[in-house]
C-alpha cells in the first residue's frame, strides 16, 4: 500500500496537498512510540513539519504561528480548522469518515485545513475557515475535498437526516441498506460554492475503500487518516 491516497507535489506553485492512506495510523490513541514513528514518516514524506490539534466537531479556526520540525504538536488547542502563512508547516486534519477539506491561495501565500463532519458542517466550519483566510488577505481560494463516508453509507436516524436537510439544503439519502442517510460531501460542496471557493474533488468513500480508514467500518481499530496542505 502506498503512503498517500492522493499527493499533489508542491512543484512550481509551492502548494503541497496530500490525503494519506490506511498505511499510516495518525490517531493519538496509539502508543507514544508508534505515534511518533507515524508522524516522523509523514513529515519526512512531505518535507515539512506536521501540525495537529485536538478536533472537537466545532467551528474554531486556529492561526498557526509556530514552526518546527517533525511533529508540531498543538493538541493543547481545541479547534477544527487551521490556517497559516508559514512555509514548511503542513496543516493536518485527521478523519475516519468526516471530510478533510484543504485550502490554498498561492498568490496570498496562505493555506488552511478543516475537519468537516456532519456537526462541523452544521456549525459552519468551512465558511469560518474561508472567512479567516480572507481576513488575512486571501482572494482566490481553492479547496480540495478529501475522502469521506458517502451518502450511500452514512446512515442516520430520519429526524437527524431531516434536520441536516433543513440546515444544508441537501436532501436525505437512501443508504445501501434501504435506510435514511446524509450526504456530507454534497453539503460541503454546496457550502464552498456558496462561499465562492473553487474546488477539486478526491472523494473516495472511506467505508467502501479498504485502503482508507473508517470508524463506521471498523470502530475498534479505525485509526485516522489525514489531509495535509503546506507551502513549500
Q: What is the pLDDT of residues 94-129, one digit of tens each?
A: 999 999 999 999 999 999 999 999 999 999 999 999
Tens digit of each residue's pLDDT (9 = 90 or more) over 8-40: 999 989 999 999 999 999 999 999 999 999 999
pLDDT of residue 93: 98
Please tell me the distance from the alpha carbon of residue 102 to that of residue 9, in angstroms, as a whole number: 14
CA atoms within 13 A on the CB side of 39: 23
pLDDT of residue 66: 92
Please tell me the distance from the alpha carbon of residue 171 to that of residue 180, in angstroms, as a whole number: 10
pTM of the predicted model as reported, rounded to 2 decimal places: 0.97
pLDDT of residue 49: 98
Q: Is the dihedral of CA 125, 84, 101, 96 positive or negative?
A: negative
222 pLDDT band, cuts 50/70/90, is confident
The CATH topology of domain 4-149+199-231 is 3.60.140
Residue 71 main-chain phi, psi, to 5 deg: -90, 125
Q: Domain locations in the chain?
A: 4-149+199-231
Separation of CA 17 from chain center: 11
Amino acid at each position: 500500500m502506498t503512503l498517500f491516497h492522493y499527493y499533489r507535489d508542491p512543484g512550481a506553485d509551492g502548494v503541497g496537498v496530500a490525503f494519506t492512506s490506511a498505511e499510516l495510523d495518525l490517531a493519538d490513541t496509539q502508543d507514544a512510540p508508534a505515534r511518533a514513528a507515524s508522524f516522523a514518516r509523514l513529515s519526512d514524506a512531505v518535507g515539512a513539519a506536521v501540525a495537529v490539534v485536538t478536533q472537537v466537531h466545532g467551528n474554531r479556526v486556529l492561526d498557526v504561528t509556530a514552526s518546527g520540525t517533525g511533529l508540531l504538536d498543538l493538541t493543547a488547542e481545541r479547534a477544527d480548522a487551521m490556517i497559516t502563512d508559514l512555509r514548511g508547516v503542513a496543516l493536518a486534519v485527521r478523519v475516519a469518515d468526516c471530510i478533510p477539506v484543504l485550502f490554498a491561495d498561492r498568490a496570498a501565500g496562505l493555506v488552511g485545513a478543516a475537519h468537516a463532519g456532519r456537526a462541523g458542517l452544521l456549525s459552519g466550519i468551512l465558511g469560518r475557515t474561508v472567512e479567516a483566510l480572507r481576513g488575512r488577505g486571501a482572494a482566490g481560494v481553492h479547496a480540495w475535498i478529501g475522502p469521506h463516508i458517502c451518502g450511500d453509507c452514512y446512515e442516520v436516524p430520519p429526524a437527524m437526516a431531516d434536520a441536516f436537510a433543513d440546515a444544508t439544503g441537501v436532501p436525505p439519502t437512501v443508504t445501501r441498506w434501504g435506510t435514511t442517510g446524509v450526504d456530507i460531501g454534497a453539503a460541503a460542496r454546496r457550502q464552498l460554492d456558496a462561499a465562492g471557493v473553487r474546488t477539486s474533488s478526491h472523494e473516495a468513500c472511506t467505508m467502501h475503500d479498504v485502503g482508507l480508514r473508517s470508524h463506521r467500518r471498523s470502530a475498534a481499530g479505525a485509526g485516522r487518516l489525514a489531509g495535509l496542505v503546506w507551502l513549500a
